Amino acid sequence: MYFVTFRLADSIPQVRLKQWLAEKETWLRTHPEPLSETQRAEFWERFPARFHQWLDLGYGSCALREQHVKEFLEGVLRHFDKVRYRLGEHVIMPNHVHTVVTPLEHHDLSAILHSWKSFSATEINKRLGQKGALWQKESFDHIVRTPAQLERINQYVRENPLPPAKAKRHPCRFRSLRIFISAVPMK
């Protein structure tokens, strides 16, 4: 089972992303494995948590905020549910997607993500009258190892987006985004 985030190509400014990657590389070089629990917590705060905070700022085109795009992408995510994977909690944000997914036998995560991203990019670009890269090539994925970890991740997904009070101050970012959430219990 994996927690996955994939994002639009323009969701984080390139200058910020390059700085983040350089900092991460330096940190990993100066903190060799095995990491202590304190180091793991520091790494999470400095890198994945900060990255997700940047995504939630709503940079870029926010193409996924369009209702017809969200509904189409929801269909893409669900298309092979229970055939190639089990789809868990998920949310479509204006510039990224969070999901919990479990590949089924003979299917791997990279093929699932490639299928979602390549099929949806062609159709979303057509619907929006645009061309070029829609999705960022890399995705964030994390193996879910324990039921407690799964619950924390599911809570994080359920709590996205921000509450309506904050959404009013940031209409591009969080307007009517809470759609189609489903839960799949861990085996």
Cα-based angle 111, 108, 32 (whole degrees, multiple of 5): 105
* 116 C-beta neighbours (distance < 10 Å), count: 23
Exposed / middle / buried, residue 8 (Cβ in 10 Å: 0-12, 13-18, 19+): buried
Q: What integer pLDDT is reported at residue 181 of this predicted model?
A: 30
Strands 85-92 and 140-143: unpaired
Is 167's pLDDT higher than 70?
A: no
Tens digits of residue pLDDT in 129-163? 999 999 999 899 999 999 999 999 999 888 886 55
Residues 92 and 144: their CA atoms lie apart, in Å, by: 20
The domain ranges of the chain are 2-9+61-174
Model confidence at 92, in pLDDT bands (50, 70, 90)? very high
Asked if 16 and 54 touch (Cβ cutoff 8 Å), the reply is yes
Take residue 59 and report the two structure tokens written for it.
């940079």
Task: Look up the CATH superfamily of 2-9+61-174.
Answer: Transposase IS200-like (3.30.70.1290)
Tens digits of residue pLDDT in 12-67? 888 888 998 899 999 999 999 998 989 988 998 888 888 878 888 888 999 999 99
| CA 45 to chain CA centroid, nearest Å | 17
Q: Considering the chain, what percentage of its residues have pLDDT values greater than 70?
A: 86
- The pTM of this model reads 0.79
